[in-house]
Amino acid sequence: MTLRIAYVRGFTMNLAIDIGNSLTHFAVFEGQKEIESFTAATNNFDRSELYNKYFKKYSDKIKAVGISSVVPAVSEIWNQLSEIFFRVKPVFINSKIRLPVKLKVDKPASFGSDRICNSVFGYEYFKRKQNLIVIDFGTANTYDVVLKNGDLVGGIIAPGLETSAKSLNVSTGQLPALKHADFLFKNSIIGKNTIDALRSGLMNYALFATEGIVKSVIKEFKKDFKVIITGGNAGKLKNKFSFKPLYIENTVLKGINLILNYSNKK
């Protein structure tokens, strides 16, 4: 587990939980201020250790819990643990709860909770005054479009770097598997060996595909757009684009917190 920032003040707090396939990310917020964040394995974690190490000091302060999840079985575990740890019934982020954005998409119920959180964060970050593309470079690369009137009009989903690298390794006889640490840009776009050729292909494919997608969104809507990038691989790409994106970490967690605060407004 990794820990960042720690202090406790005297007000009520929100707990945001982002459940991914491999890792679950947590953040404790007071208003919009992130107090503490940490990460644990999605499966096979020690509940007592997690509670005693991170949650016990907040047991009387956390009054709302929000969960974004792509693992339904683990969602139910945290549904129970939230009530055990904090005596709070969690809010699961989906299209049916009160949101500051409007889902103008086919089948809103199938729209990913992580994409909702990213979109809400971006919309509120720019104070509801900008058209926005939020790009999350994770297991999948997602591109979500929010207009300044609050309409979340949809997006694009493409394979992420790890997913693409794994597919090449599994689907071919001789291409090696690349890991997160292998994803980097070399001085030349031309790889002089197999590893560098794979690196160049994966990194530049993500780069140029993103450039093309952003350009196409601007052309289709005939509007100016702000661009936020986030996710585990965003930092490796942030300085390579011809446009100037805003790089922000943990937008899903921040979006969960904003949704909790918004849903609690009268």
Domain 102-255 adopts which CATH fold?
Nucleotidyltransferase; domain 5 (3.30.420)
What's the pLDDT score for residue 1?
41
Percent of the chain with pLDDT over 70: 95
Q: How many CA atoms lie within 13 A of 131 on its CB side?
A: 13
What's the pLDDT score for residue 173?
83
User: Confidence band (pLDDT; 50, 70, 90) for 22?
Assistant: confident
CATH of 2-92, one of 3.40.50.300, 3.60.15.10, 3.60.150.10, 3.30.420.40: 3.30.420.40
Predicted confidence (pLDDT) per residue in 153-164, tens digit: 999 999 999 999
Q: Which residues, in sequence order, are bridge partners of residue 247? A: 229
Could you give the residue range(s) of every CATH 3.30.420.40 domain in the chain?
2-92, 102-255
Question: What is the spatial distance between Cα 223 and Cα 146, in angstroms, rounded to a whole number?
Answer: 12
User: Confidence band (pLDDT; 50, 70, 90) for 9?
Assistant: very low
